[in-house]
Structure 1
Amino acid sequence: MSEPTIICPSCKAEIKLTESLAAPLLESTRRDYEKRLAQKDADTAKREAEIRLREEAVTKAKEQLDEQVAEKVRSERNRIAAEEAKKAKLAVQSDLDQKVKELEDLTELMKEREAKLAEAQKAQADLLRKQRELDDAKREFDLTVEKRVQEGLAATREQAKKEAEEGLKLKVLEKEQTIASMQKQIEELKRKAEQGSQQLQGEVQELELEALLRTKFPRDTIEPVPKGEHGGDALQRVIGPNGQLCGTIIWESKRTKNWSDGWLAKLREDQRAAKAEIAVIVSHSLPKDVETFDVVEGVWVTHPKTVSPLAHTLRHTLIEVGCARQASEGQQTKTEMIYQYLTGPRFRHRVEAIVEAFSTMQEDLDKEKKAIIKQWAKREEQIERVMHATAGMYGDLQGIAGKTIQEIEGLELRALNPPDSHQSDANDRVGNEG
């Protein structure tokens, strides 16, 4: 084993540490270390003594602090207990006051309820008394009704027997009525079939009339009126020798079994609408006292066999009037024109239209008056029946129930002061039935 060496810090030379050389160093180092260790032990003991003193001081301070805290807790506990006792005393006093007040309120409420109970018992007693009175009146009423039912039972049976017999008669009459109704329906169907045939025949006659006019008067304009429009069946515009329009003839064709005066008024309206000078009805059935043709209420009426000569005559008349009017044009003054208008067909047509309208309005007004008067009389009779029946029923109930039935003001006044004979009869009926 090699010996340890050290290096000189000055010369940097290595020096071997032999035992003889290292012994003093080791001894010195050992003594120094032991000295330090002893010093350290002394310091440690001193520190431990100081720590023990501090611990004793801390323990003593802790004990003092615990005593102070305990004292503080005791004093605070006593204070809180005193406050809580005071609060509890106040709460008990408040609860006691509240209970006393509630007791007083309950006492007052009991008094009120006792008063209301007394009133309710009194009202119940009155109600029971009235109920007994009503029950007595009802029993008396039921007894009276039962007596009347028994009295009227025989009459009811007799009435039922009569109604049964009348029912059989009604059934027989119903069958007869059904047969009559079926016969009417058959006749109506026949009439409709004949009417359809007549309508077709009428259309054929219209076409024949138009063809006749076109053949006889080729220079004139023949205008058929469409179906469903007002204006007759055909309009003949008469053309003069010089090509001027001389006037218009409105033609109406009828092919029925019977004549109707309503055709005249309708054709006059169509004449005014078309501004035609002449109106002609061609019909197989003519008015009374007319054999071939004639003027009836301003309208020419003719049989189909005399259409041609009548048309020639009327057309010739219009042509002459037209020529005369054309010759006098430019020579008329306003007065003459007014006179011609007043004496002409247009003014007459307009006046006739006004008169017919007023006549129709007057007839409608008369019909409305009659209907309203009839309706008033019917309502007056119905009201009188209702009042008589009401008075009779009131008298019956008053005779049964007596004074328990309340008085009706209107009926009592009628009974005391009848204003007319009708009310007197009603009161007599009330007295007899009561």
Structure 2
Amino acid sequence: MSELKIQCPKCSNEIELTEQLAGPMVADLQASFNAELAARDAKAADALAAAHAQAKTAAQAETAAEQAALHDRVKAQDEKLREAQAAQAAALKREQELKDKEAEMELTLQKMLAQERPALAEKLAREADEKAALKMAEQAQVMEGMKRQIEALKQKSEQGSMQTQGEAAEIVLEETLAAAFPIDAFVPVAKGVSGADVRQNVTGPNGVAGSILWESKRTKNWTAGWLAKLRDDQRTSGCEIAVITSQALPDGVESFGMVDGIWVCAPRYAVPLASSLRQGLIDVAGAKGRAMGQETKMEMIYDYLTGTQFKQRVDAIVERFEDMQDNLRKERVFIERQWALRAKQIDLVIASTVGMHGDLQGIAGRSMPEIESVETLLIGKDA
């Protein structure tokens, strides 16, 4: 043990602290320290117990406060829930009332419609009839306007003097007959000279067998005075036969026929009629050469030319010609129908293309470039 010294409080002398001397003192100090430590531990334990009790009391108070606050919140939420449930019930009630009112209104409306349906149907039918009548009237007006325009265009296209039209008809008649009978001689009547239009000198085996005097008419109405004038022209010219070709025919004549000693025919029957008439002249001329002076045979031939047999022969020729004309007309109608169908298809394609181009222009605006081919289609269609 280290050498320790202590000072006496009374005499201030230093006393060496030995083991024998320090032992009791240390024991006393140890006991005093242990007692003080035990007292301190007890006091700390008491303080800890008091603090724990206080904390427990505070926690209990806080828990009670929290429970009270929670109870208040639950109560408030219950109150709000009851209010929400009441509001929902009221809303459901109002919704049901609205549905009931709507159902009632629907039923009332259906009843009203059921009551007014006959009157409404009658009104609609009357309005539809009025609209249809108005549309028909408008269409009739449009058609009438189109007819007037067509008539005006037709009159415009047929402009020109009657003299010019007559001369054109004469030329057509002369060229048609000359092409059909190239061996005959055709002598047109000079302008300004009274008479018919064309004289056909029929050439037979022994020369000129006779003559046919042709008069061409191009008017809308038949005039009976033409017959008397052509008879005078026939006597003046010395022709054996006289024929009037006209678009307008007298009553009772549909294709050709003899009226007061003058043959009358439509222009398209001129060639077959001329073929029959010129053959009759050739037959008569041959009979004259074989039986010169035999009046009886001449009378027989005249009876033949003016009788039923000759007319039947002409009818047969004309019927065959009509069959040919009918076949030609059917072919023309078929070709025109095909042409019109294809033209309509082309127009539809052009219209669809132009419509698509217009739609794209409406979407793209000015940024859409011009397509020259579409413009070409439009120009070609308008042309």
| TM-score normalised by L of structure 2 | 0.36
Q: Which has the higher contact order (CA 8 A, sep 6+)?
A: 1
| TM-score normalised by L of structure 1 | 0.32
